[in-house]
């Protein structure tokens, strides 16, 4: 789509117009100065002067700020590819007691479209018209259909400082804060549920989004500094909410204060539709553009050393109660005690106990002497323990390392819940361990019997159309969570089980589950329900688990549809990954911060819609992106694999940089970069953290020598 730019003269001065294949973006008064009172409260003026320069030009305006103070504003517009770049410089002249912000915005004047008419994509935050999101999810379908006038999202909540609106005719407008810096203060978001107004000249971050104007049309742009509303996210403890409240940010009117920011506006057109493929097309087109503009890169680390360090910690965490051995789910990542930490050892998801057993068993074969033998014994003992747990129905997801009784990670309505994902991932790790032992000349028939029982249980509880309940009650098998949103979680296990046991019915069940997962995502607009400790909503893990499922089905049964579905899932999964460095608050005490100043945030990922928490979960899925690189020849997937492999190690304690953590190999489980920046809800280590690093490395190793391209460097 070719974009044409022109300055338009009126009685008030100069405005701007962008024309692109039959539709237009306009702004009659490009310079808006805002004051406390609302996102559109203030003064908007046209340029008093305009100087043409090639395909663009420079506009200048002066805006009063009260008490003999004013702002001199210069905007420089230039054509770039499918859009325009506008660089703003604002200088305050004079001082007053007031506060102000500024806005740079455009609207379509060839259609009248409110928030209910447009689909919004913000990476890691908003996913079009997906239905499975919280009522107050920023940019989400329910909020936009509830009559909001403003959708403004702080850029630190987003994996990229990008806001995209797609109109009913398929045309989209994408806004990127190109020279993003992101500075903030320790006072930012201390009010848990919003409603605060803060004034500080050190605010150096923006919000992106728009407001509905008096003619009922969405006006899209960049607000500086970052006022957020009408909804925001809570920043206190659990449960995390989405209050309908404003977080207003301004700077003081001080002589000499400067604002500088650059916004790039891209226009284009994608397929219209509410299905997941249409969303992935919009996301991929705009996300890759932002990726190319921001050029994310991470330092390369020795992944072998990373895996060794986290496995040493994992081995230290192994405990035995009576005849049961496992790894307690939680530990304090800082202090050498575990007061208040969860004591269950459970399979799958964040518990990953059978994965821990497999990795320790595997590490034992790579290490010499007593250390190697000890790790191998530990791994075997963990797997022996889980293989003794009844599976028809499952007695639990593991056991309590204090009482020794069978236990689960979560409960539903006060009843212990066994999740399909936990069963599938727990059994897949045991299958891998049993195969590993057979390759070493050792037979593990009890393990084999157990994972086969898991496969039979899942298939027996599968619907005729391939769906499965999300969770059952431990010990009874009664359905506790009837949602069928995430059937993809069982596919990798059933594919592997069918291959290893030569059981074609399990492959048929895997195909049915994969088909159901695709149909469900297409019906609801996105992949949802992956994370078990969050509501059944759109999240990162649902997308990446669908990617894993579709890749495995492509390998098992062939056919372009499965590869194309894998690409759709990958195009969404990657957009949860931060591709810009979010700085920590300038005045925060480094000793108090959980994420330390100067440590890159690139490569870590947002977790779910409806909140702004971050982790490094995709480290375990790097092999899926590497497989796509091999299958498609698209080097972008190699870059993604490298980013999530190396970038996720940045706050892992390694020799010479242990931060304030317990020691080498330790890492906190999650943090927040958007909202109360640099803090997590707690400072816990969970079993999945070392498993993600070590299993991610092991899976890449198992792909073959070619996959060393991923582990060997941080950028192409």
Task: pLDDT band for 207, please (50, 70, 90 cuts).
Answer: very high
395 sits in the region (left: phi over 0; alpha: psi -120 to 50; else beta) called alpha
Domain boundary among 261, 277, 294: 294
Please indicate, yes or no, if residue 501 is contained in any of the structural domains.
no
Q: Mean per-residue pLDDT for 339-365?
A: 98
Question: Distance between alpha carbon 535 and the CA centroid of its chain, in Å?
Answer: 15
How confident is the model at residue 714, as a pLDDT? 37
How confident is the model at residue 713, as a pLDDT? 45
Task: pLDDT band for 312, please (50, 70, 90 cuts).
Answer: very high
Q: Which of 335, 307, 624 is nearest to 492 (CA)?
A: 624
Please indicate, yes or no, if residue 651 is contained in any of the structural domains.
yes
Please indicate, yes or no, if residue 534 is contained in any of the structural domains.
no
Q: Mean per-residue pLDDT for 543-568?
A: 97
Rounded CA-CA distance 221/423 in Å is 46
Q: Please, what is the Cα angle at 531 between 243 and 629, to 5 degrees?
A: 115
CB atoms within 10 A of CB 244: 16
- In the DSSP assignment, the letter for residue 657 is B
User: Of all helices (H) and strands (E), which one includes residue 631?
Assistant: helix 622-632
Task: pLDDT band for 238, please (50, 70, 90 cuts).
Answer: confident
Q: What pLDDT digit, counting tens, does each position of 56-109 carry?
A: 999 999 999 988 999 999 999 999 988 899 999 999 999 999 999 999 999 999
- For residues 208 and 225, the answer to whether their CB atoms sit within 8 Å is no
SS3 content of the chain, % helix, strand, coil (to 5): 35, 25, 40
- Mode of pairing for the β-strands spanning 398-400 and 344-346: antiparallel
How confident is the model at residue 272, as a pLDDT? 78
How confident is the model at residue 715, as a pLDDT? 36
- For residues 270 and 170, the answer to whether their CB atoms sit within 8 Å is yes
Main-chain phi, psi angles of 491, to 5 degrees: -65, -50
CA atoms 617, 623, 626, 632: torsion sign: negative
Task: pLDDT band for 634, please (50, 70, 90 cuts).
Answer: very high
What are the residues facing 502 on neighbouring strands?
Answer: none
- In the DSSP assignment, the letter for residue 697 is H
Say if residue 41's pLDDT is above 90. Answer: no
User: Of all helices (H) and strands (E), which one includes residue 204?
Assistant: none
CA atoms 675, 681, 683, 684: torsion sign: negative
How confident is the model at residue 81, as a pLDDT? 84
Please indicate, yes or no, if residue 449 is contained in any of the structural domains.
no
- For residues 491 and 459, the answer to whether their CB atoms sit within 8 Å is no
In 119-170, DSSP assigns E strands to: 119-122, 126-127, 150-154, 162-166
Interacting residues of 622 by C-beta distance below 8 A, sequence separation 6+: 641, 642, 644, 645, 696, 699, 700, 710
- Residue-averaged pLDDT of the chain: 96
CA atoms 662, 664, 670, 676: torsion sign: positive
Rounded CA-CA distance 268/265 in Å is 10
Question: Distance between alpha carbon 701 and the CA centroid of its chain, in Å?
Answer: 25
How confident is the model at residue 1, as a pLDDT? 62
671: its two tokens: 């943090």
Under DSSP, is residue 628 helix (H, G, I), strand (E, B) or coil?
Answer: helix
Residue-by-residue DSSP string for 307-337: HHHHHHHHHHTEEEETTEEEE-SEEESSSS-
User: Of all helices (H) and strands (E), which one includes residue 543?
Assistant: helix 540-557
Main-chain phi, psi angles of 525, to 5 degrees: 100, -10
Rounded CA-CA distance 29/106 in Å is 9
Domain boundary among 269, 294, 319: 294
Q: Please, what is the Cα angle at 418 between 417 and 419, to 5 degrees?
A: 110
Q: How many domains does the chain have?
A: 2
CA atoms 289, 292, 297, 302: torsion sign: positive
CB atoms within 10 A of CB 21: 12
Owning domain of residue 678: 577-716
Asked if the peptide bond before residue 561 counts as cis, ω within 30 degrees of 0, the response is no
Under DSSP, is residue 715 helix (H, G, I), strand (E, B) or coil?
Answer: coil
- Mode of pairing for the β-strands spanning 258-269 and 3-10: unpaired
Please indicate, yes or no, if residue 33 is contained in any of the structural domains.
yes
How confident is the model at residue 578, as a pLDDT? 99
Q: What pLDDT digit, counting tens, does each position of 477-486 carry?
A: 999 999 999 9
CA atoms 607, 647, 678, 312: torsion sign: positive
CATH of the domain at 95: 2.70.98
Cβ-count burial of 322 within 10 angstroms (0-12 exposed, 13-18 middle, 19+ buried)? exposed
Q: What pLDDT digit, counting tens, does each position of 472-521 carry?
A: 999 999 999 999 999 999 999 999 999 999 999 999 999 999 999 999 99
Rounded CA-CA distance 344/328 in Å is 5
- For residues 251 and 67, the answer to whether their CB atoms sit within 8 Å is no
Main-chain phi, psi angles of 588, to 5 degrees: -75, 150
CB atoms within 10 A of CB 592: 10
User: Of all helices (H) and strands (E), which one includes residue 76?
Assistant: strand 69-80
Please indicate, yes or no, if residue 343 is contained in any of the structural domains.
no
Please indicate, yes or no, if residue 363 is contained in any of the structural domains.
no
Say if residue 342's pLDDT is above 90. Answer: yes
- End-to-end CA separation in angstroms for the chain: 29
Task: pLDDT band for 533, please (50, 70, 90 cuts).
Answer: confident
In 242-380, DSSP assigns E strands to: 248-252, 258-269, 318-321, 324-327, 330-332, 344-346
Please indicate, yes or no, if residue 362 is contained in any of the structural domains.
no
- For residues 469 and 479, the answer to whether their CB atoms sit within 8 Å is yes
Q: Mean per-residue pLDDT for 656-665?
A: 98
Say if residue 716's pLDDT is above 50. Answer: no
- For residues 114 and 210, the answer to whether their CB atoms sit within 8 Å is no
Rounded CA-CA distance 600/579 in Å is 10
Rounded CA-CA distance 229/592 in Å is 28
Domain boundary among 274, 294, 314: 294
């Amino acid at each position: 789509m070719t974009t044409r730019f022109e300055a338009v003269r009126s009685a008030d001065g100069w405005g701007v117009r962008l024309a692109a294949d039959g539709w237009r973006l306009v702004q009659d008064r490009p310079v808006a100065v805002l004051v406390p009172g609302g996102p559109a409260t203030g003064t908007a003026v046209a340029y008093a002067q305009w100087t043409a320069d090639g395909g663009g030009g420079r506009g200048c305006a002066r805006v009063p700020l009260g008490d003999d103070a004013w702002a001199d504003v210069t905007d420089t517009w230039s054509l770039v590819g499918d859009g325009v770049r506008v660089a703003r410089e604002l200088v305050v002249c004079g001082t007053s007691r007031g506060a102000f912000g500024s806005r740079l915005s455009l609207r379509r004047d060839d259609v009248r479209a409110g928030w209910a008419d447009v689909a919004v994509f913000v990476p890691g935050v908003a996913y079009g018209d997906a239905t499975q999101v919280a009522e107050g999810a920023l940019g989400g379908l329910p909020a936009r259909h509830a009559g909001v006038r403003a959708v403004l999202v702080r850029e630190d909540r987003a994996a990229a400082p990008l806001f995209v609106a797609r109109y009913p005719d398929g045309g989209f407008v994408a806004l990127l804060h190109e020279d993003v810096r992101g500075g903030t203060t320790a006072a930012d978001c201390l009010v848990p549920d919003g409603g605060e107004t803060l004034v500080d000249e050190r605010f150096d971050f923006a919000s992106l989004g728009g407001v509905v104007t008096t003619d009922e049309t969405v006006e899209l742009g960049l607000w500086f500094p970052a006022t957020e509303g009408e909804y925001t996210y809570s920043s206190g403890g659990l449960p995390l909410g989405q209050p309908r409240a404003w977080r207003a940010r301004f700077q003081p009117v001080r002589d000499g204060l400067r604002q500088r920011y650059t916004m790039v506006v891209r226009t284009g057109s994608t397929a219209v539709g509410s299905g997941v493929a249409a969303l992935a097309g919009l996301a991929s087109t705009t996300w890759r553009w932002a990726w190319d503009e921001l050029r994310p890169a991470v330092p390369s680390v020795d992944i072998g050393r990373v895996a060794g360090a986290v496995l040493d910690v994992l081995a230290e965490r192994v405990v035995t109660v009576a005849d049961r051995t496992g790894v307690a789910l939680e530990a304090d990542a800082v202090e050498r005690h575990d007061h208040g930490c969860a004591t269950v050892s459970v399979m799958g998801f964040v518990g990953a106990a059978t994965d821990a057993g497999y990795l320790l068993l595997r590490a034992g074969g790579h290490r010499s002497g007593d250390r190697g033998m000890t790790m191998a014994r530990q791994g075997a003992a963990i797997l022996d323990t889980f293989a003794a747990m009844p599976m028809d129905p499952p007695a639990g997801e593991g056991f309590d390392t204090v009482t020794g009784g069978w236990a689960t990670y979560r409960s539903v309505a006060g009843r212990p819940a066994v999740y399909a994902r936990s069963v599938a991932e727990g059994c897949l790790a045991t299958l891998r361990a049993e195969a590993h032992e057979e390759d070493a000349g050792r037979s593990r028939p009890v393990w084999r019997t157990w994972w086969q029982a898991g496969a039979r249980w899942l298939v027996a509880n599968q619907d005729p159309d391939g769906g499965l309940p999300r969770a059952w009650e431990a010990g009874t098998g009664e359905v506790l969570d009837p949602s069928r949103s995430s059937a993809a979680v069982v596919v990798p296990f059933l594919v592997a089980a069918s291959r290893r046991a030569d059981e074609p019915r399990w492959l048929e069940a895997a195909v049915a589950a994969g088909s159901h997962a695709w149909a469900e995502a297409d019906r609801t607009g996105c992949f949802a329900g992956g994370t078990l400790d969050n509501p059944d909503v759109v999240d990162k893990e649902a997308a990446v688990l669908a990617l894993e499922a579709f890749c495995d089905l492509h390998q098992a049964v062939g056919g372009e549809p499965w590869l194309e579905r894998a690409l759709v899932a990958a195009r969404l999964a990657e957009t949860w990954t931060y591709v810009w460095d979010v700085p920590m608050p300038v005045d925060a005490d480094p000793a108090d911060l959980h994420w330390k100043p100067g440590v890159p945030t690139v490569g870590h990922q947002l977790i779910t819609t409806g909140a702004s928490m971050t982790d490094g979960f995709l480290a375990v899925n790097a092999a899926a992106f590497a497989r796509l690189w091999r299958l498609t020849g698209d080097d972008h997937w190699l870059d993604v694999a490298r980013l999530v492999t190396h970038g996720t190690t940045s706050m892992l304690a390694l020799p010479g940089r242990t931060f304030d953590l317990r020691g080498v190999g330790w890492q906190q489980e999650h943090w927040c970069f958007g909202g109360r920046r640099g803090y997590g809800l707690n400072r816990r280590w969970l079993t999945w953290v070392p498993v993600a690093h070590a299993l991610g490395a092991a899976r890449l190793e198992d792909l073959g020598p070619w996959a060393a391209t991923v582990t060997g460097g941080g950028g192409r």
